[in-house]
Amino acid sequence: MLSLNGKIVAITGASGGIGEATARLLAQRGAAVVLAARRSERIDAIAQDIREEGGRAATCVVDVTNAEDLRRLVSTTVERYGRIDVLVNNAGIAPISPLADLDTEGWSAMIDVNLRGMLNGVAAALPVFREQGKGHLVSIVSVAGLSVSPSMAVYAATKNAVRTVREGLRTESTDGVVRTTAISPGYIRTDLADSMADPDLRHRTRENMDAMGIPPAAVARAVAFAVEQPDDVEIGEINVRPTVQA
């Protein structure tokens, strides 16, 4: 198994689910992690757990829709650990609904968090990566961006847009300074359904997650695999899907 010793990794959306699992696993494998999310008490508790287990962890309260918050996350990471090797753009929401419901507030929220939040991370990290001479952007996307299901049109659009931005950045990064990876999970057992306004849809989604979902730790292992690779190896995209047997 490759080692993450010495890697410095900042993770958005780290107060639960995939972000929390990623922070815990990367810290166990030797990385120093900076947990970022809006819920300060939650990321502080997770970071304390990591430190008590012998890992290195710090926190930064961040709303990814605010560009200044992402700049502060990057600067906090550099000030604390001397550099930032990896930014994991993980924060995301899914207040999904049929388009006919005209939930324009939900549409805007998904665009702001899922897409604009990722772009804010790119804008904050890219200049620092260039100054350092290397850096790795990991984005948590979704298989929803590859196969659109009913009620998921806008959510899928935001995730597909994130995938497109990542691919565009990859094609522009011809000098080898910036590596990019997209991790695309299927159903994962997280609290993502809590942001859905429709109670029936929320209930069905939770049932699907319970029946077919895999643990957030599975996605965390995919992130770790991508981050562990040598600097001359780039893992473009990893799809993490549950296996359903008839």
User: CA-to-CA distance for 19 and 57, rounded, in angstroms?
Assistant: 13
Task: Look up 155 and say whether it is catalytic.
Answer: yes
User: CA-to-CA distance for 69 and 89, rounded, in angstroms?
Assistant: 13
Helix axis angle, 117-132 relative to 153-172, nearest 10°? Answer: 20
DSSP state of 116: I
Q: Which of 155, 182, 183, 190 is catalytic?
A: 155
User: CA-to-CA distance for 226 and 234, rounded, in angstroms?
Assistant: 7
User: CA-to-CA distance for 161 and 151, rounded, in angstroms?
Assistant: 17
Please list, in sequence order, all residues whose beta carbon lies within 8 angstroms of the beta carbon of residue 235, skipping any fewer than 6 positions away: 181, 225, 226, 229
Residue with tokens 């296996």: 243
Catalytic residue ranges: 155
